[in-house]
Amino acid sequence: MSDSMDLKAKLGLDVFKPVSNPHIRIRPGMEKDPRLKRAVMVCPAGLYSENERGEIVLDIDGCLECGTCRLACGVEVLDWNYPEGGTGVQFRFG
Ligand code: SF4
């Protein structure tokens, strides 16, 4: 693999099998908790965003299962689990 590939190109090589049940959820009522803003900054796949109401939302498709959001935000605001077997990310080229 070329060292000149950017992150999005590298992520595009991975395969994601859709999860029927989101394996990471923002705990109800915590959508505006300031700790969640860390996830917007640290998620390498860019799956967290802030909507017009100031709530943090998560689009789970493309999750790398890296656990960074769990460490950054804490389990008080995130219900974090691995996806069911056979779903989720399949890494290519390491
Ligand atoms: S586990 Fe990693 S890729 Fe998945 S949502 Fe959290 S930070 Fe993003």
pLDDT at 61 over 80: yes
Domains and CATH numbers, the chain: 7-90 (3.30.70.20)
Q: What's residue 84's pLDDT?
A: 83
Q: Is residue 90 a contact partner of residue 17, using CB atoms and an 8 Å limit? A: yes
Plot region of 64 (φ>0 → left; ψ -120 to 50 → alpha; else → beta): alpha
Query: What φ, ψ does residue 12 adopt, rounded to 5°?
Result: -65, -15
Q: Does the beta carbon of 69 sit less than 6 angstroms from any atom of ligand 1?
A: yes
Q: Give residue 46 CA to ligand 1 midpoint distance, Å.
A: 8
| Mutation choice for ligand 1 from 8, 42, 47, CB with most ligand atoms inside 8 A | 47
Which letter, b or e, does each residue of 68-87 get, where b requires 16 or more Cβ atoms within 10 Å of its Cβ?
A: ebbebbeeebbebeebeeee
| Ordered alpha helix ranges (H), the chain | 7-11, 37-42, 68-73
**Per-residue pLDDT tens over the stretch 34-43:** 999 999 999 9
Please report the atom of ligand 1 found closest to the CA of residue 42.
Answer: 7
Sign of torsion over alpha carbons 33, 61, 40, 49? negative
pLDDT, tens digit (0-9, with 9 covering 90-100), for 1-55: 556 778 778 778 888 887 778 999 999 999 999 999 999 999 999 999 999 999 9
